[in-house]
Structure 1
Amino acid sequence: MNHPNTLNHRVIRLLDASLNRASEGARVVEDYARFVLDDAHLARLAKELRHGIAAAGGILPLADRLACRDTPGDVGTAISTASEGQRTDAWAVCAASLGRLQEAIRSLEEYGKTIDPALGARFERLRYDAYTLASGLGGTQRGRERLGDARLYVLIDGSESSEAFARRVETLCEAGADVLQLRDKSLDDRTLVERARHLASLCRRHGVTSIINDRADIAVAAGADGIHVGQEELTVADARSVVGPGRLVGVSTHSIEQARTAVLAGADYLGVGPTFPSTTKAFAEFPGLDFVRQVAAEVSLPAFAIGGITPANVSEVVTAGLRRVAVSGAVSGASDPIAAVESLVATLGGQSAG
């Protein structure tokens, strides 16, 4: 290990500048997660990254860094590009800072090796942490842009015929559903593709988001807007490798740890539950409204509470902090599905979807 006093003062200047860029970039990202997204999970990770950079950089005494700093003589202060002075919105500011953050950590990683290979390895781990944070922020931004106003998500089966299915989709779209998911394990693949194509086409006509449960291949073949996976199905990365960057990937979560993991994996939205006992699906455990409260307090990625939600209890979900719900039996089993949708939409209405 080289002592800082034996290092070339120009290398110390370089490391000082990179430490400043990295910590400044992390602060800008943290502020975006904290104040723009109100996302406690991502803000905490950004803060931890910022502190990790400071701790690793502590090997260079501040007195040495300041002694070697020469801002007036830095040729880089006079170099700029037109794009640096243009930011279209807060996300553009955050995205630019994420890039600066990752670049600065890479510089620290490489030049840190001149002090100690272990220091280079330490910054390498921090760089991977920055990549993961960027994935979480990117997925959150993408999900909020695509699903910002979506409140009611309805899961449907394939119906007894193609004609009945089409009528059902039309009815739900016209009644006010924002997202429709086709979930039917009983259909053969050809029939499932046919139903999925109907879903995608009709939803597109009405401006409703179309999702296919579990089957990434069917979602692509049908031209649906996305796929939904559970904890035992495809990972977000595997689903993304099939459906590509342009389609949504949603994930069912049953604990706050699973929700945090899905955010960092780049999911576009979460299913949160089960909230109440369901008439359409059996569960061994119910994380319930406590889980809804945890997600509402920590995560700004679009999150839909699911499981046993009806017009009679949906207000409890809203009180717990989420204005997005996914339902099945509450609509499909209702004597008047249109009235059920309208009642749910009315309760979920408000300024923020949560």
Structure 2
Amino acid sequence: MSNNTIYRVLDAAANRATEGMRVVEDYCRFVLDDARLMKHAKELRHDFAAAIATLSHDDRHALRETQQDVGVEISTPAESTRIDAWDVCVASSERVKQSLRSLEEFSKTVSPEIGTRFETLRYRWYTLEKSLTTTHTSRSRLSGVNLCVLIDARDSIEAFTKLVQKILDAGADMIQLRDKSSSDRELVERASLLCKLKDSLPSPPLIIINDRTDIAAATNADGVHLGQDDLKVKEARAILGPRKLIGVSTHNIEQARAAVLDGADYIGVGPTFPSKTKSFDEFPGTDLLAEVAAEISLPSFAIGGITLKNLPKVLTTGIQCVAVSTAVVSADDPGAAVRAFNEMLP
């Protein structure tokens, strides 16, 4: 195969990759309205342009034969139809991956070094693709989930059942079992009961277990919520599988960005205000909420000291989901508290 033919291959693959990258970037920008993912897509596109620039632009164009290309007139019915914007994004992402692989292999005949650069770009694209898919899926699955209520195991199974029933009847979107003092057996008992009670409802809330991936798996809960010192998302995913939810608490913008790339399905952001259930040395407050809302479209819950009184301050940041504990479980009427939060939330 002559270098002339190789350059035709490289030129066609470069065009497909560039076009696909731009489509995905537009999806991040205009459909997701996600500044962070758009930035990743844009950086990849620019780095790709720098890599392809090492192959002579003039030579590629001189050897281009669009009118004589036997593949121009060949197409499949699937290429002419797209279901929605996400379908457009997926098709374009696939085109980018295939093009990068073609560039990687054929460019080795011109320069092994450039082939390595295309390989690196391909792996970076895989990471972006994962974040895109997780964000799309999580936004769909958690649509309408705005209130997460954190509960402990209570002093007895009777007290636990009574509290849970009030919260369920009031229409909480998500319930997270968080208890640092109960035994494993007690946690399994409470988590199993929680899952059983919610399964009896026509529109059951999501059940999340705090910290304990093993108990989430053992009781078939909907997912687990991890702190910065708990298992990594990768490790929890290996235990729970692809369909369970994994949330991550984040306390600064860097942790929030990392959680997105790690594959978290949602993030907790805070602490926003002082809390009676957990102590913190620093409070990033509403500034962090606004920062996250401005650049991350993955479902994000404000955490830490959220009450009915300060909820309006939270909502003005752009964050529309909250996780609460004391404001509900310590209320005179937990059910009424849940209903009050639901009335104020979107």
TM-score, normalised via structure 2 length: 0.96
Code of the aligned partner of 2:260: V
State whether structure 2 residue 166 is matched by structure 1 residue 171.
yes
- Aligned equivalent of 2:294: 297
- Quote the offset at 1:167 in angstroms: 2.4
State whether structure 2 residue 153 is matched by structure 1 residue 158.
yes
Please point out which of 215, 220, 223 is paired with 1:218: 215
Please point out which of 266, 270, 282 is paired with 2:267: 270
Contact 1:138/1:266 (<8 A) preserved: no
Residues 150-159 or 338-347, more deviating: 338-347
Q: C-alpha offsets along residues 84-129 of structure 1, whole Å, 9 cap, x if unaligned?
A: 2232221111111111111111111122222222211111111111
State whether structure 2 residue 343 is matched by structure 1 residue 343.
no
Contact 1:154/1:177 (<8 A) preserved: yes
Code of the aligned partner of 2:127: T
- Aligned equivalent of 1:62: 57
- Quote the offset at 1:80 in angstroms: 2.4
Contact 2:163/2:329 (<8 A) preserved: no
* SS of equivalent to 2:153: coil
Code of the aligned partner of 1:84: E
Contact 2:289/2:318 (<8 A) preserved: yes
Contact 1:18/1:108 (<8 A) preserved: yes
Q: Among all aligned residue pairs of Structure 1 and Structure 2, give the percentage whose two residues are the same amino acid.
A: 56
Q: How far apart, CA to CA, are the structure 1 residues paired with 2:197 and 2:24?
A: 39
Gaps of 5+ in 2: none
Q: How far apart, CA to CA, are the structure 1 residues paired with 2:139 and 2:338?
A: 23
Code of the aligned partner of 1:269: Y
Q: How far apart, CA to CA, are the structure 2 residues paired with 1:253 and 1:56?
A: 35
- Quote the offset at 1:322 in angstroms: 0.8
- Aligned equivalent of 1:261: 258
* SS of equivalent to 1:76: coil
Q: What is the RMSD of the two structures over their aligned residues, measured on CA atoms?
A: 1.4
Code of the aligned partner of 1:66: H
- Quote the offset at 1:35 in angstroms: 0.6
Please point out which of 230, 235, 248 is paired with 1:233: 230
Structure 1 residues 7, 232: CA separation in 2 closer, same or farther (over 3 Å shift)?
farther
Q: How far apart, CA to CA, are the structure 2 residues paired with 1:17 and 1:167?
A: 65
- Aligned equivalent of 2:178: 183
Q: How far apart, CA to CA, are the structure 2 residues paired with 1:170 and 1:89?
A: 40
* SS of equivalent to 1:282: coil
- Quote the offset at 1:7 in angstroms: 6.4
- Quote the offset at 1:321 in angstroms: 1.0
Q: How far apart, CA to CA, are the structure 2 residues paired with 1:170 and 1:81?
A: 54
- Aligned equivalent of 1:51: 46
Residues 47-56 or 164-173, more deviating: 164-173
TM-score, normalised via structure 1 length: 0.94
For these two proteins, the number of residue pairs brought into alignment is 344
* SS of equivalent to 1:75: coil
Q: How far apart, CA to CA, are the structure 2 residues paired with 1:331 and 1:314?
A: 13
Q: How far apart, CA to CA, are the structure 1 residues paired with 2:254 and 2:15?
A: 32
Q: How far apart, CA to CA, are the structure 1 residues paired with 2:91 and 2:197?
A: 38
The 4+ residue runs of structure 1 with deviation greater than 6 A are none
Q: How far apart, CA to CA, are the structure 2 residues paired with 1:300 and 1:165?
A: 34
* SS of equivalent to 2:306: coil
Gaps of 5+ in 1: 1-5, 350-354
Please point out which of 322, 325, 338 is paired with 2:322: 325
- Aligned equivalent of 2:119: 124
Q: C-alpha offsets along residues 198-233 of structure 1, whole Å, 9 cap, x if unaligned?
A: 112222333201101111111111111111101111
State whether structure 2 residue 72 is matched by structure 1 residue 77.
yes
Code of the aligned partner of 2:121: L
Residues 143-152 or 161-170, more deviating: 161-170
Q: C-alpha offsets along residues 134-161 of structure 1, whole Å, 9 cap, x if unaligned?
A: 1111110111111011111111011222
Contact 2:163/2:334 (<8 A) preserved: no
Q: How far apart, CA to CA, are the structure 1 residues paired with 2:208 and 2:222?
A: 6
Q: How far apart, CA to CA, are the structure 2 residues paired with 1:337 and 1:33?
A: 39
